Amino acid sequence: MPRRQRKRKVFLPPYQRGWNSNNASTQETIYLNYDEYEAIKLLDYENMKQEEVAKLMDVSRPTLTRIYESARRKMANALVKNTHIEISGGNVEVHESWYYCHSCHVNFNLYDGTVFCPLCKKTDNISKRAEQIKNENQ
């Protein structure tokens, strides 16, 4: 029986779901998982050390290395082939404090106990980001 994979922790999901290529002739989309996005963000953008990132994402060092290598291969492919990039899926668990406004398409953090979108100030059309990503994966 295959070992059950532990969920990888993602603190903050990306603001955008991806990018559209300016190459009008491409139909190709590279799919980056949320855990791959998180690994690239923490290692290459935040310049964190692999040990720290592995701890934050609740994975072993070798697992983090695999996630990171896969992410870099996908990003290199997308850059060279000028494809679209979509961030979705992956075996992840998003920090509970994040919400998503479906009107403005932004993520925001629960601030003082009242859940409202910081852009449109609405309190409806909002969902927990963790729940939303769980649904995307089904």
> How many residues of this chain bind Zn ion (CB under 5 A)?
6
90 token code pair: 């992956």
Closest listed residue to residue 90, CA positions, set 107, 74, 67:
67
Given the complex with Zn ion, which of 19 and 116 has the nearer CB atom? 116
Which CB, 110 or 119, lies closer to Zn ion? 119
Among 18-26, 49-57, 63-71, 120-128, the segment contacting Zn ion (CB under 5 A): 120-128
Candidate residues 40, 54, 57, 117; the one interacting with Zn ion per rule CB under 5 A: 117
76 near Zn ion, judged by CB under 5 A: no
Q: Where are the beta strands (DSSP E) in 1-138?
A: 8-10, 18-19, 29-32, 84-87, 92-94, 98-101, 106-109, 126-128
Does the footprint of Zn ion cover residue 120 (CB under 5 A)?
A: yes
CB-nearer residue toward Zn ion: 20 or 103: 103
Is residue 103 near Zn ion by the rule CB under 5 A? yes
User: In Å, how far are 32, 50, 69, 126, 130 from 100, measured between CA atoms?
Assistant: 20, 29, 29, 6, 9
